[in-house]
Structure 1
Amino acid sequence: MAAMLTQFEDLAADNTSGATELIQRILALCESGAMGNTYNEIREGLNLLEDAHSSMPSLHTVIQILKSEFLPGLKNADDLEQSLRYIVSLQKILEESGAQIAEKFLSVLERPTRILTISRSSTVISALKKAHKANKLSHLYVLEARPAYEGWRTVRDCSAAGISSTLMVDAAMGEAVQTAEAVVIGADSVSSDGYLLNKTGTLPLAICASEFGLPLYVLCDSLKFSPQTRRDVTIDEHPDSEVIEKEESDAFKVWNRYFEWVPINYVEAFITERGVFPPEELEALSTEETAADE
């Protein structure tokens, strides 16, 4: 029990992985736990995760689905196989969505392109690797995304895949957009009132891209489109110590939030598993999904 809960605690404390990557790890953990007959541990772990990552509505949606559709089947041995099939189907949907997004991303790149990104998104990284293999990515610039430095992991993963890459400090984004030809980011959520939620630094990056005429592409699956408005989502405050070691005499405050909202009018297109959509078509897309669910 302790080992299983420790893994859930690690997921709850993970401040550097994106929503899609965390969801994939949660599904894998639930699958292994189900085969080990650990209903109580999984239930406690999901409750723990429910209190974490408040800035990731899509992750909370998946947790609610797991609690209502997957967890009950673990209480009865006859339903265990069905619960496991449910997990496998969710994993397959995520995997296929990522592959479809990467394929559609290639369609917007007409030639080898210098691309700029910020922080870390498993969906973006997969698409960049595919673009590299298709000879449509000439160079990658990565903003480091302080204070957790998720950009470090991104540039290392991409460089290891053979992608010509440069890591840049966040304050150099103005220079970066004058060097790159397109900006590509992920999203932890897209609100119903016309904003996307992503790592702090994305808003000034979007403004810089707009000023210098660079297209901003957002790569995310349909799970990220939320019925919530930005006012419904709590953005967590993180410790001062991640930014500076304060002394007893220090009276100033430290603002340390990992996420911020960006108006979607800065976006050239959202690239999802269902297609490439300009911001003005997102409402129609959301309506189609609601009708399909009904």
Structure 2
Amino acid sequence: MKVVIDGEVRTLKAVWYEDDEVKLIDQRKLPEKIEIFEAKNSDDIAYAIKNMVVRGAPAIGVTAAYGLAMAKKKGENMDEAVRKIGSTRPTAYDLFKAIRYMQINDFDMNSARRYAMEISGRSRKIGEIGNQLIGQNARILTHCNAGALAVVDWGTALAPIRMAHGDGKNIFVFVDETRPRLQGAKLTAWELAQEGIDHAIIADNAAGFYMRRKEVDLVIVGADRIASNGDFANKIGTYEKAVLAKTNGIPFYVAAPGSTFDFSIKSGDEIPIEERDENEVLEINGTRIGPVESHSRNPAFDVTPNEYVTGFITEYGIFKPSELGKLKELMEKDLFMNIK
């Protein structure tokens, strides 16, 4: 991804392996500063995933792949490394796909590098395919961060937007702030600003206002796990946007690589939903905003039923929820994705 540091344009990935360490852009520090987190063992990897140094399903998977290969190189107990890393975040399916991929390939570092390259390349393909849906002067709403920070490079929901901008299309992006961790306001807006893409941060509860005024042409979001029937989990608040989009006749697309599809489950009812620390809701940047007597509930994700999805933008093409059987067949022929 393009990053401007001290006036100089540089290219960075969200996650990479260098000098026997897994390097990650510490997403907790953005947009104020770019700081690199250095993971030296599987404990550091588990900490980075659990505590949101890295987030976004594909990026979590790549981090796990690199982390397991590093753990093997350093002589760690691999059963324990798998247990630690696999217990960090239950909803993101890419985490478990990456762990299984590394187990099959004996935790080899070259396999981890290939996993990262595949995910990055497939995200670029998602951008090329999704770009076809974006017309000149399109106004796009997105939720949370499904950009390069959430993948490694390019992104999922932001990949088509990047491609459209690169093609010279005049586009505008509504960026949901995405409470409680503000991944939209802090991360998506930062990525768009680095690219010079016109955008505005809006409060989560303002999306319906702009939809009803016909100021939104389409919605593109990412996903953390997609069931066989097309129900999918994504950042909390996605379900509301999908319902509003359908009510207002606005196309609603989900951009995700094959690694996010979990064909072992029938519906969204089987997706485990992570509930995080209540202080993420009760505090903003360490400042308490609720009464000391109050508690909160903090589900990290919600599940959107397939009936609200116009189509899934994947590296294989665009599929309606009713067409996911075709996608499964294509994935079964793909040696990289056909991981059992």
Q: Is TM-score (shorter-chain normalized) higher than 0.5? A: yes
- Mean Cα deviation higher: 22-31 or 123-132: 22-31
Match of 2:302 in 1: 260
Q: Which is higher, the Rg of structure 1 or of structure 2? A: 1
Among 38, 53, 58, which residue is 1:20 paired with? Answer: 58
Q: Is the 8 A contact 1:16 1:150 kept in 2?
A: no
Q: Is the 8 A contact 2:231 2:303 kept in 1?
A: yes
Residues 137 and 22 from structure 1, CA distance in 2 versus in 1: closer, same or farther, beyond 3 angstroms? Answer: farther
1:256 positional shift = 1.0
1:16 positional shift = 6.7
Among 94, 114, 130, which residue is 2:163 paired with? Answer: 130
Residues 112-191 of structure 1 mapped to structure 2, 5 A cutoff = 112-122=137-147, 123-151=156-184, 152-177=186-211, 178-191=214-227
Q: Distance in 2 between matches of 1:137 and 1:235?
A: 37
Identity of aligned residues (%): 23
Instruction: Give the letter for the 2:51 counterpart.
Output: A
1:288 positional shift = 4.2
Cα displacement string for residues 193-227 of structure 1 (whole angstroms, at most 9, x for unaligned residues): 43011111111101111111111111111111112
1:290 positional shift = 3.7
Match of 1:102 in 2: 127
Q: Distance in 2 between matches of 1:132 and 1:271?
A: 18
Residues 218-237 of structure 1 mapped to structure 2, 5 A cutoff = 218-226=254-262, 227-228=264-265, 229-237=267-275
Structure 2, unaligned stretches of length 5 or more? 1-20, 22-38, 148-155, 283-287
Residues 285 and 211 from structure 1, CA distance in 2 versus in 1: closer, same or farther, beyond 3 angstroms? Answer: same
Residue 208 in structure 1 maps to residue 208 in structure 2: no
1:137 positional shift = 4.7
Q: Distance in 2 between matches of 1:248 and 1:175?
A: 32
Among 307, 314, 322, which residue is 1:272 paired with? Answer: 314
Name the structure with the higher strand share.
Answer: 2
State the number of aligned residues.
279
Q: Is the 8 A contact 2:66 2:109 kept in 1?
A: no
Instruction: Give the letter for the 1:261 counterpart.
Output: V
Residue 239 in structure 1 maps to residue 281 in structure 2: no
Match of 1:10 in 2: 48
1:98 positional shift = 0.8
Residues 115 and 43 from structure 1, CA distance in 2 versus in 1: closer, same or farther, beyond 3 angstroms? Answer: same
Structure 1, unaligned stretches of length 5 or more? 72-82
Residues 84 and 249 from structure 1, CA distance in 2 versus in 1: closer, same or farther, beyond 3 angstroms? Answer: closer
Residues 287 and 3 from structure 1, CA distance in 2 versus in 1: closer, same or farther, beyond 3 angstroms? Answer: closer
Q: Distance in 1 between matches of 2:268 and 2:210?
A: 28
1:94 positional shift = 0.9
Residues 147 and 249 from structure 1, CA distance in 2 versus in 1: closer, same or farther, beyond 3 angstroms? Answer: closer
Secondary structure in 1 matching 2:157? helix
1:233 positional shift = 2.6
1:43 positional shift = 5.2
Among 70, 83, 91, which residue is 1:47 paired with? Answer: 83
Instruction: Give the letter for the 1:9 counterpart.
Output: Y
Secondary structure in 2 matching 1:183? strand
Residues 95 and 111 from structure 1, CA distance in 2 versus in 1: closer, same or farther, beyond 3 angstroms? Answer: same
**TM-score, normalised via structure 2 length:** 0.75
Q: Is the 8 A contact 2:207 2:241 kept in 1?
A: yes
Residues 185 and 137 from structure 1, CA distance in 2 versus in 1: closer, same or farther, beyond 3 angstroms? Answer: farther
1:62 positional shift = 1.4
1:33 positional shift = 5.2
Match of 2:9 in 1: none
Q: Distance in 1 between matches of 2:40 and 2:330?
A: 42
Match of 1:75 in 2: none
Name the structure with the higher helix share.
Answer: 1
Q: Distance in 1 between matches of 2:217 and 2:180?
A: 26
1:191 positional shift = 0.7
Q: Is the 8 A contact 2:174 2:201 kept in 1?
A: yes
Q: Distance in 2 between matches of 1:16 and 1:188?
A: 14
Residue 91 in structure 1 maps to residue 116 in structure 2: yes
1:41 positional shift = 6.4
Q: Is the 8 A contact 1:106 1:136 kept in 2?
A: no
Q: Is the 8 A contact 1:140 1:166 kept in 2?
A: yes
Q: Is the 8 A contact 1:268 1:278 kept in 2?
A: yes
Instruction: Give the letter for the 2:202 counterpart.
Output: M
* Cα RMSD after superposing both structures: 2.5
